[in-house]
């Protein structure tokens, strides 16, 4: 996909939402991702650097190469990392993941968060990425799945508003329900030892940080952002939309609850496969045990 096809857009509000999302969910999503010092990690589709700052903080001594197809987002990513982690070892590239400017088997680990959901052919993306991963290196993929959202009070209008986002993303070539497909996608792309951990975020009045950071500022804000497109496409009427959004906000008020599941997959590139069209003659020894496959 191109930068312009990105369903959430590249507004300042979206940049804020991505940062809020990453900060709120850092513990949930990054727990277990610990790369050995000295390893080379490629962050795919780094966006505004919302995950990069957490990768940097959790992995001292790691060389991170971060890239995105959107120049504006990259500039924001540089600024965010400079502000949060001055002197961090991060190299930035503007690149399309389907046309990577890196040699085969350059990286020990790949980190891909909330990118596949926007791509028309995620299996091909994973296979293409495998070219730059050294044999035995790992890939970590994190995605959400809007079908996993349930809440109290339940509301058909709120589900209808969420469904607008799912349909718009599908029309743009993406898939907002991709979390449940990570295992088969990675296996089909040729990776080995695929392990997927569902990671649920649950917010109620006893967890005000999650209510604010996730229910309101991440999930509901994301659905709200597609209002104009949903109405213009005739997916829903204005009254139904307003009721759905009001009901989503209701789940963040007293007595409301909200649950959503992310899927985190870790997989290993095989020693020599179709992932690597032309494997290098000399490969480094694999030491997967040093990388914690999280539990
Ligand atoms: C939802 S954002 C996620 C950003 C970041 N990974 C995060 O979790 O905050 C998706 C990002 O993928 C990027 N992207 C989409 N298609 C891409 C491609 N073909 N090559 C590189 N980046 C791409 C978009 O520009 C966008 O910044």
Segment 203-223 shows an average pLDDT of: 96
Residue 237 forms part of a structural domain: no
Pocket of ligand 1 from Cβ distances under 6 Å:
1, 3, 6, 18, 22, 45-47, 50-51, 68-70, 73, 96-98, 113-115, 118
- Model confidence over 159-203: pLDDT tens digits? 999 999 999 999 999 999 999 999 999 999 999 999 999 999 999
65 alpha carbon to ligand 1 midpoint, in Å? Answer: 14
Confidence of residue 24 (pLDDT cuts 50, 70, 90): confident
Which has more pLDDT, 13 or 5? 13
Ligand 1 atom with the smallest distance to the CA of 97 is 20
Q: Which two tokens stand for residue 238?
A: 């204005």
Residue 165 forms part of a structural domain: no
Q: Is the pLDDT of residue 138 over 90?
A: yes
Q: Which of 13, 33, 54, 115 to mutate for ligand 1's pocket (most ligand atoms within 8 Å of CB)?
A: 115
pLDDT, residue 17, reads: 67
Residue 107 forms part of a structural domain: yes
How many structural domains does the chain have?
A: 1
CA proximity to 139, closest of 113, 161, 110: 110
45 alpha carbon to ligand 1 midpoint, in Å? Answer: 4
Q: Is the pLDDT of residue 274 over 60?
A: no
Residue 64 forms part of a structural domain: yes
CATH code of 50's domain: 3.40.50.150
pLDDT, residue 96, reads: 98
Residue 31 forms part of a structural domain: yes
Residue 275: CB partners within 8 Å, gap ≥ 6? 127, 130, 131, 133, 189, 190, 191, 269
Residue 105 forms part of a structural domain: yes
Q: Is the pLDDT of residue 141 over 50?
A: yes
d(CA 70, CA 53): 18
pLDDT, residue 21, reads: 76
Indicate the pTM of the whole model. 0.88
Residue 239 forms part of a structural domain: no
Nearest CA to ligand 1 atom 17: 69
Residue 233 forms part of a structural domain: no
pLDDT, residue 151, reads: 98
279 alpha carbon to ligand 1 midpoint, in Å? Answer: 27
Q: Is the pLDDT of residue 211 over 70?
A: yes
Confidence of residue 8 (pLDDT cuts 50, 70, 90): low
Segment 208-232 shows an average pLDDT of: 96
CA proximity to 32, closest of 136, 134, 140: 140
Ligand 1 atom with the smallest distance to the CA of 98 is 19
Residue range(s) defining the domain that contains residue 75: 8-149+173-203+260-271
């Amino acid at each position: 996909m191109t930068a312009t096809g990105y369903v959430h857009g590249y507004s300042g509000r979206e940049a804020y939402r991505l940062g809020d999302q990453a900060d709120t969910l850092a513990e949930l999503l990054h727990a277990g991702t610990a790369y050995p010092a000295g390893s080379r990690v490629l962050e795919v589709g780094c966006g505004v650097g919302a995950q990069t700052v957490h990768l940097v903080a959790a992995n001292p001594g790691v060389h991170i190469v971060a890239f995105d197809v959107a120049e504006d987002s990259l500039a924001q990513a540089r600024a965010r990392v400079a502000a949060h982690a001055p002197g961090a070892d991060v190299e930035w590239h503007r690149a399309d993941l389907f046309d990577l400017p890196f040699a085969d088997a350059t990286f020990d680990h790949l980190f891909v968060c909330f990118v596949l959901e926007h791509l028309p052919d995620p299996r091909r993306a994973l296979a293409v990425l495998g070219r730059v991963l050294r044999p035995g290196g790992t890939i970590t993929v994190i995605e959400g799945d809007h079908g996993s959202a349930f809440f109290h009070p339940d509301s058909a209008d709120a589900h209808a508003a969420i469904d607008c986002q799912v349909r718009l993303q599908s029309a743009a070539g993406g898939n907002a329900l991709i979390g449940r497909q990570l295992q088969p996608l990675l296996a089909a792309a040729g990776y080995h030892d695929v392990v997927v951990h569902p990671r649920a975020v649950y917010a109620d009045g006893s967890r005000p940080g999650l209510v604010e950071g996730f229910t309101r500022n991440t999930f509901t804000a994301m659905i709200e952002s597609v209002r104009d497109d949903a109405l213009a496409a005739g997916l829903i009427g204005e009254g139904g939309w307003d009721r759905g959004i009001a009901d989503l906000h209701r789940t963040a008020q007293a007595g409301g609850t909200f649950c959503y599941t992310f899927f985190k997959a870790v997989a290993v590139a095989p020693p020599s496969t179709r992932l690597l069209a032309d494997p290098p003659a000399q490969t480094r020894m694999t030491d997967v045990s040093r990388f914690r496959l999280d539990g």
